[in-house]
Structure 1
C-alpha cells in the first residue's frame, strides 16, 4: 500500500459498524483498527452511490467515518481519510454537493488533527488534472495548511502547489501563507459574535452622523448593473447557504462625494431592497465606519461557518470566496495581487449599516456593507440575512445601467 491510494481488504469483520455507531466507538476503532473503519466506509460508499433515503443515510455515515479517521493522528488514518474523500465518495449529480462539502470538511479536520509529517506523503504524486476529486481534496488540504502558516518549504507540497497553478485550479491563486489583513480568519472571540442590534454595532464601531449633505449626495446616485460582479460579491453568502438571496448593488455619482458625507443619510437614499420601508417601524437606521479586515473577515465567516441551513465551506474555499467578494466590492481585476488589493482597500471608505425593515431581522445574522471608492464617485453595497423569507433564489441586482 503506497501513500496516495488505498486498496480495501475483503474482511467482513467490520460489519457491525454503521449509522448507530457512536462517536466514541468510532474514535476507538480509528485509533486501534483504522483499516476496519475504512473497509466499512468503502462498503457504505457503494450503497451511497444510489439514490433515496438509504443512499443519503449511507453517505452521512461515511462522513462520520471519514471524520473519525481524519481526527485520529496517524499516517494510516490520514491516508484512509483522504482516500475516502478523494476517491470513493459518490460523484453523481444527486450527491455532488454533499461529496464536495465532505471533501472540504475532511481537509479542514486533517489540518487540525494531523502533524505535517503525516500529511506530506499524501502529495508525493503530482496530479494530471485539476478537476479530479483526489486532486480536489489535496488542494483543499493545501489551502487549509496555508491558513495556519504550514506547508511552505516542503518540497512535495511546494511541487503540488505549483502543479495546481499550472492546471488552473481555483485555490492555486491564493497565497500560501495568511496575510496580515486575514488575521481574524477562524478566530472567535467571546462576546464578538454576529452584530444583531444597533447597540452592538455602535459599541464596536464609530457611528457616522446623519447629514443633509449626505442625503443630497445619495439622491444623485445612479444604479450601474453588473451581474457578474454582483454574483462574485454575494458568493460567500450564497455558497454558505444563507437563508435569503443577498443584495449586491453598484452606483455611480455625477460628482465626488466628501468622505464625511458618506453616512447613513447617503445610504438611505439609495434604492436598496434591504432598506425598503425604512422609517415605518420603530427604530432608526445606523451606519458605522469599519475597516477592510473587518469586512473581509465577515465575508470569510459567512462561508466558513455556513448559514442556518448548514453549508459550511471549509477554510480554503471560504478564503477564496471572501477575496472574490472583496475584489468585486472594490471592482478590482483578478490580476491584481492580493497584497496590492489589501493596500488599495485602505484607500476605500467602508461602512457597516443596519435598519428596521423587513430585511433586517436582528435575529440569526444580518450583514450589510457600503463601500466608497478612492475616487469618491462609485459606491458598492452588499447586504445579506440568514433569516428565511418567502423570497426567490438568486442574487438581487435589479439596477439598470445608469
Structure 2
C-alpha cells in the first residue's frame, strides 16, 4: 500500500486529469479500506500542502478524499475523516469548519460521537456541535456528545455564545447538501426575489439624524463581511434616529430620502420596491449570506455562519452588544422588518443582492443593510 501511495504522490503534479486517482480512492473505500484514503491524503499534504495554491491536482484530490470519507456512511469512515483533517500535515481551522459541515450533513449523529473522544480539535468539535444543532439534533441528549456540548470548559469559544437548540427565529435554515463530487445549496436572496416585492412611496416622513458608528457598521454587516473581504462585494450598513415615529406606509419614502448609496436614482425612472417581512426571513437571508458566501468564496460554514447571522440580527435590531441570544431574538421580534430592492447601479443584479431594514418597536430607529456581489 505504501508503494502505491508513493507512486500516486510522485506522479500527481504531472497529471492532466485526476479522475483516475478518484477512481482508485473509490475502489479502496468500496473494499472497506478507508485508511488508505487517509494515508494518501496525509502523504499528499506532506508533499504539496505548502504549495497548494499552485498544485491544483493536490487540491482536487485532497478535497475528494475528504468528501468521500465524510459523506459515505460506513464503519470507520468518520474516524478516518477525522484523522485526515487532524494530522499535523493538514491541521487548519478553516478545514475543521469545512469537515464539520460535511460530516454533520451526511453521517448519522451517533456515528459522530467519536469526534469527541478521538482525533479532533476543539475547533472541529465546537463547529460540529452547531452544525448538528442546525440540522435539528438534540446535542444535549446525544450520548458521547452531550457531555462535551454542555461542559462549561468551552464557553470562552466564540461559538459558545450560541444556543444549543434552534430558536424560533432560525426556523429551518437553508443548509447545503454534499456528495463526494460536489454540493448544492439554495439562495434566499438576489434580484429575482427583490423584483417580486411591491410597495408605494407615500406617507409622512419624519426628519432623521444618522447615528451610524464603526461598531454599528461592523455588527450589522457581519453576515455579509465575507462578500467584501473574500469576493467582489459591496456593503452599506447604516443607522438613523427619527424625530417622530415612522408609520409603515412611510417606509418606502423614508428609505428613498436617507441618501443611501445603494438607492441612488431609485424611485424615479429606476424601479424600487419594499415589502414587509418577518424576522425569520431576515435571519434566513443573513445566515445564507454568511454560511455559503458570495460569488468567489464559500462562506464561513454553518456554525460560524449561524454566529454571524445572529450578530447582524443584533445590530439591525439595536440589541445591546453582548446580550444573550434570547434577548436578541426578543428584540428582533419586536421590530418591524422590510426587504427592499432596486435596479440601481449599486446593486450588481447577478445573484447576490440583499436589502434589509428594521424599524425599532417605538418606530424611532431605523437600520439598513444592503449588500451585493458579482462574479
> TM-score normalized by structure 1?
0.79
Please tell me whether the aligned partners of residues 69 and 80 of structure 1 are also in contact (alpha carbons under 8 angstroms): yes
Match of residue 276 from structure 2: 289
**Residue pairs, 1:338-357, within 5 angstroms:** 338-357=325-344
| Residue of structure 2 equivalent to 1:80 | 80
Distance in 1 (CA, whole Å) between partners of 2:79 and 2:248 is 54
Supply the distance in 2 between the matched residues of 1:57 and 1:233 (Cα, whole angstroms).
39
- Distance, in Å, in 1 between the alignment partners of 2:101 and 2:186 is 25
* Residues 201 and 288, structure 1, Cα contact 8 Å, conserved in 2: no
Q: Is 2:85–2:96's contact at 8 Å kept on the other side of the alignment?
A: yes
User: Which residue does the alignment assign to 1:398?
Assistant: none
Aligned to 2:44: 44
- How far off its partner does 1:74 sit? 2.8
Look up the match of 1:234: 221
- How many residue pairs were aligned? 356
Deviation at 1:194, TM superposition (A): 3.2
| 2:172 pairs with 1:184 | yes
Per the alignment, residue 224 of structure 1 pairs with 211
Once the 2 structures are TM-superposed, how far is the Cα of residue 145 of structure 1 from its aligned partner? 0.8
1:198–1:286 CA contact under 8 A, matched in 2: no
* Structure-2 separation of matches of 1:187 and 1:54: 31
Tell me how far 1:256 sits from its aligned partner.
2.4
Tell me the distance in 2 between the aligned counterparts of 1:46 and 1:381: 47
CA–CA separation in structure 1 for the residues paired with 2:53 and 2:29 = 26
Judge conservation of contact 2:194–2:341 (CA < 8 Å) in 1.
no
Once the two structures are overlaid, the 10-residue window that deviates more, 176-185 or 47-56, is: 47-56
Gaps of 5+ in 2: 13-17, 177-184
1:53 shift after superposition: 4.3
CA contact (8 A) 1:371 1:381 kept: yes
Q: Among 115, 123, 127, which residue is 2:108 paired with?
A: 115
Structure 2 match to 1:29: 28
Aligned position for 2:158? 170
The Cα offsets for residues 333-366 of structure 1, whole Å up to 9 and x where unpaired, read as 3443323322322211111111121112322221
Paired residues for 1:51-200 under 5 Å:
51=51, 53-54=53-54, 57-90=57-90, 99-124=92-117, 134-150=121-137, 151-163=139-151, 166-186=154-174, 193-197=188-192, 200=195
Instruction: Say which SS state the counterpart of residue 204 (structure 2) adopts.
Output: helix
Kept in 1: contact 2:295–2:352 (CA 8 A)? no
Shift of 1:84: 2.0
Q: Provide the rounded CA distance (Å) in 2 between the counterparts of 1:52 and 1:346.
A: 46
> Take 1:365 and 1:169, find their aligned partners in 2: how far apart are those partners?
30
Q: 1:278 to 1:142 in 2, by over 3 A?
A: same
1:266 maps to which of 254, 265, 272: 254
Distance across 2 between alignment mates of 1:89 and 1:163: 30
What TM-score do you get using the length of structure 2 for normalisation? 0.85
Q: CA deviation at 1:87?
A: 3.5
Is 1:308 matched with 2:291?
no
User: What's the CA shift for 1:172?
Assistant: 1.7
CA RMSD of aligned residues (A): 2.9
CA distance, structure 1, for counterparts of residue 220 and residue 89 of structure 2: 31
Give the number of the structure whose residues are more often strand, by fraction: 2
Unaligned runs of 5+ in 1: 1-9, 92-98, 128-132, 389-402
